[in-house]
Structure 1
Amino acid sequence: MPPSSTSVRPTAIRRRVIAALGLLVLLVPALTGCLRVQTSMGISSDDRVSGQIVAATIPIDENDKGPELTVPSALAGKVRVQEYAQDGYVGSQVLFSNLTFGDVQQLATMSDQSAGSFQLSLQRAGDLVSLTGRVDLEAAPERGTDVQFTIAFPARVATTNGDRESDSIVSWKLPAGEVSTLRAEVRYSDPNTRGFAGWAGIVAGGAMAVTLLIGALAWFTRNPTPARAPSNGRLGS
């Protein structure tokens, strides 16, 4: 006797639900996009920048390598790109060191414009160093997007719109679907000024040494004490 429809229906429904849930799990990465962008950098007291950038996504298939970033020719030798694979994410990891403030601006040309745009600027005016940035994530999926930026300065941060991790470290967690701005200011002496001050000190020290030497020579070559006149008041012949 064939099973009744009432006994088959719950099992069939249960199987369909399980199958649907399995399909949903497979589709979640594709639907959300699951974007990870993590940037961390540090500035030394001589205005040199080092750090790394991770740009990765959850792959949609085994051939998906995620974002593939290319080093600008102007930064060859200072920037290295390697494959990134961690926590189920794949993409690129960018390692850089000894960049100038001008070099940092060119890092933005490596970004994947399909996920968003990233602009960053470091500028110095006397002893004041300013960081300004703009991150456009309007096209990034709101679910599964993790974009973070962290920077360490060589001195205490004066003002910022980021989260202070310590006196000299600031971070931002940037929301998807929005355009965010980065801002921070810090004061420390200009390395060029420090170099000039050191050179000026050497010159001043040298000038002082020359002055003392001239004074010493003048003292040793001064006219000897005049001979005393003889007791009879007449000069000897």
Structure 2
Amino acid sequence: MIRSRVVAVAALAVLTLTLSGCVRMGVEVALQEDGAATSNLVLAVEDAYLDQTGQSPDDVIDTLTEGQEDPAREAVRTEDFEQDGYTGTRYVYPETKVGDVGTRVGWPIKVVRKGGDYLVSGTLDLTEQGLDSRGGAAIDNLSITVDISFPGKVKDSNGIVDGNSVRWEPAVGEAVEIHARGAAKGPAEPDADEATGAAEVVTLPVVPEWMVLALGVSGLVILLLIGVVVWQAMLRVRDRRPGAGADPPYPQQQAPQPPAAQPAPQPYGSLPPQHGTGSSPYGAAPPQERSTSPDQNLPPSFPPGY
């Protein structure tokens, strides 16, 4: 059990280490959503003490646990530990129920679930009686840490909160009360689409009707302005051409020509006049037109003129 190991190692550390050395024992408990819990034990030696003595962390730990139960006996694995100026080993133990955490760590720590939260309470007895120390004069050389992590957010605690974890650093030689409350469930998992990086659908805002009308009127005004600019540019180009500005010649209006004179009708049987002679045939003078009009009561003669 962790309790027997913690008590034995603490007692030996108090008896064997000088004032220049220090041993850290850490108890780590991780509460799970399904009601299970994992626990670890950390045994580490201060790096300054190792430098002074020239010992390795394993040498010091072996000395501390000599004649005691090997802390690695029930561990499922061990890990190297280097943190805060300490070097040592972390022993990882099998999973247990949250109700058995106190038995596992060797202190009367109680963990219960209430609604959606875990409630942790208990007493860390680090007195000489609690550690079963045999008159340890160098008890100040021992430091103990207790870390309990929750699946979700820590809501209340008298320890040092760091994310979803709470740490207590009780002074050795005292009995310390601890309590904490944290969520028994972590944040919701992202949807499948978010996990696979699906494209996000963006919904455009609805444009009000008055804005559509305003945009339409603005567009017409812009088009009209563009038309005016183009028209003025064309006028400037035309004015720069040679002879620009003179009125174009208009075609002259021709006066109408009088109709050509038609020759008077000739009586039947008469000969046409000879062109170029100026006289009628046989030397006779051309017949003179009658100045009197024919009698309207007489029938017309045939051929005309007789």
* TM-score when normalising by structure 2: 0.39
Bigger CA radius of gyration: 2
TM-score normalized with structure 1 length:
0.49
